[in-house]
Amino acid sequence: MFDLQNIRKQFPILSRKINGKDLVYLDNAATSHKPLHVLDSWQKYYTEINANVHRGIHTLSQIATEEMEHSRRKVQKFINAKNDFEVIFTKGTTEGLNLIAYSLNNLVKADDEIIISHLEHHSNIVPWQMLCERTGAKLKVIPMDENGVLQLDFLDKNLSEKTKIVSVNQVSNALGIINPIEEIISKTRANSNAITVVDGAQSVPHQKIDVQKMGCDFFVFSGHKMYAPMGTGILYGKEEILRKINPFHGGGEMIATCTFEKTTYADLPFKFEAGTPNVGGNISLGAAIDFMENIGLENIKTHENVLLNYAQKKLLEIDGLKIYGEKAMRTGVVSFNLEGVGISSDVGMILDKMGIAVRTGHHCTQPIMSFFNIAGTVRASFAVYNTLEEIDILADGVRKAQRMLS
């Protein structure tokens, strides 16, 4: 049974007052709050274990190693990876995408092509631009229409033997639009030998992920958007590709042998995990998966869709309010502006005075904002602990901001 009040009790921060008001936290696309189960896991590591992994024969090191590797296996199951060694621990989505872009350097040459979409976060734009600068490859962009829907006929016309990488997010962080990833991957497979990369930062918190069904070569996401600590993330890669490419970082842990003449690399996954990992964070990522699975991923998805539909209904009752991507299939996000209010941050500051936390600005998606000829939007984003009553408070707050700013 889905018990929202019991879920909320697991998040101590939700009882905070902000400017004398009950906190209404609607900035979950930036980061989600952490439940007691995750906080307890983090504290337990540092108070009862606190040892480095893989390198020690003493008891605490062995416990730390087993706990972190158990978390890796939880991630494997969570995203349905074929093997646990295809799961690489990272600091987050951004590091995962940079790792891929640098590791694929030797597979890309001048005049090759890399395809991304108009809906990408800067983290799925800049690493590919940097790869193009290093190799002489060309960057191409799948266009979108006025509803934020990607125009996939672009792929039919532009995929070729020159296409080496196709990298697209599964859900837009700025608009919440759900992209047809399986169709994109299918088109890519049919028309090229390109490597497919999926940015799952905004999809993993809201829906079940199956990388084998999806058919992607790489899938990356962050822990802190799915109730885990900051500084945690995952790179999934197919075994055959991970074995072909070179590591991004060099140092301890990722070597098999090291001499001044030559170094050989460790086996997967350690080849890509140089240095001391975020052991406590990685263990707590497993605790966050436990939290989500105990509630039920379908229950989370259903609840958040109710929130999204209700928020859209309530906000569109406000004269002069525009929702971007309104007619597209979306999850987790309502991104909007008020007519006659030129600066979205003004709305955000007024909402903050009422205890309402939203995100304003370009959301690290300046190309999207340029497409709509705006500087930014007000973005309300949802998590499993949000309520319909909080949506009502948001709508009332937006009305107040509209009166004040007009």
Query: Which residues are known catalytic residues?
Result: 364
Give buried/exposed letters for 26-44 (b at 16+ CB in 10 A, else e).
bbbbebbbbbebbbebbeb
Q: Where does residue 382 rank: exposed (0-12), middle (13-18), buried (19+ CB within 10 A)?
A: buried
Using an 8 Å Cβ cutoff, are 125 and 68 in contact?
Answer: no
Count of positions (residues) in the chain:
406
Q: Where are the beta strands (DSSP E) in 7-60?
A: 17-18, 21-22, 24-25
Using an 8 Å Cβ cutoff, are 93 and 228 in contact?
Answer: no
Using an 8 Å Cβ cutoff, are 29 and 263 in contact?
Answer: no
- In whole angstroms, what is the distance from residue 400 CA to residue 352 CA? 12
Element housing 284 (H / E): helix 279-295
**Sign of the torsion formed by the C-alpha atoms of 42, 44, 46 and 52:** negative
